[in-house]
Amino acid sequence: MSSIRLVAETREIPPVGDLLAHTSAVRPLVWLRRGEGIVAAGDGIAAVVRAPAGSGRKRSEVIADAWREITALADIDDEVRLPGTGLVGFGALAFDEDSSSDSVLLVPQTVIGLRDGRSWITRIRPASDAGFASLPAPAVLGPHWAGRVGPGAQAPQGYQDAVRGALDEIAAGAYSKVVLARDLTGTVPGDADLRRLVRALAIGYPDTWTFAVDGLIGASPETLVTAHERVVTARVLAGTAGRGADPSEDHAASAALAASGKDLDEHRYAVHSVLAALGPHTSALDADTEPFVLELPNLFHLATDVAGRLSDGASSLDLVGAMHPTAAVAGTPTDAAIAAIRRIEPFDRGRYAGPVGWIDAAGDGEWAIALRCAQFGDVPGAASGARRVTAYAGAGIVAGSEPESELLETRVKFRPLVDALA
């Protein structure tokens, strides 16, 4: 794309109690965690970078280079200087370079944020415009609605058959791990206020990254990478167990996960892939020696935190490109796992399990892996029309995996979205 010269102005405002009241009901643009984050006010967009399939380059590189051009030309007046202030873009990238879904970076006309008890407003416009767009008024959430989802292209029995096929290939030495997903498809009312879904996820899963970008909505527990003032962090999740029905069962499930050789092997692959990707860009890179058990409302994960310092000029988007896809969402070795996913899964993942997050003019940002998510189709022309939705969930397959257990894991992972849609 030819670069556009943008003007951005950030000013502090009184603390905002409800960020979601400011964003679009049908096209929300949101990044939240523990009640803090950034949202686009209204649905006005100042600039868009899209990277379709077939460009001949990695799509994250296309978007990272375009963002560098945009920020190099931008005129930024930021009096607040907190993470998420100044010129920012919200991104959602396709999982697979061959996906028919675009990777996208959206720059809103207006951003409202909250962090550490301080709020701000950033207004963005092309330099050629005479002034900033008017500030949309906050709006109460629309009426409750419900969506319906059912088996998609990969039905439960087909998923178990796919796992058995992958186990045969693992036994034959084709790869060590592959992450296989299945889908649920359905519809929601065309006039559904999608902020209700975002709010349900944010309240039910406050420690996750709750996001809405270009119709992709979810609550991810997995940080792909964050970068702030040259400090880089990541959280690796791989190895899963469902929560118990009472404290005793909970304790037993957590202890079993921590001692599971199959889950520890799966987790080890994921950690190694992250360290290998970040190593060339960082110094003093460090990871927990042993994973800890992360407790979420509906399941447990094995988790490892990674931290280091940037040793080159890489932006958070450059790091996203280096890291994605990790073994946690693809497998090991990466190329063989991606080939297996293309061969075995009967659908295009789109942006499921791809990077989602935001980046600022300095290249800092916060990026998660798009998990526990659903992709919503275009808004129908008539208010009475239905809007298509596809949700995804996956599980890591290694030697020792059991098809029935992996299917159950996907059911547990679907719960946040299915419950929120209902």
- Known catalytic membership, residue 58: no
Q: Which of 177, 266, 409, 413 is catalytic?
A: 177
Amino acid, res. 150: G
* Selection from 126, 130, 107, 132 nearest residue 4 by Cα: 126
Q: Which of 9, 36, 69, 222 is catalytic?
A: 222
- Known catalytic membership, residue 222: yes
Residues with active-site annotation: 177, 222
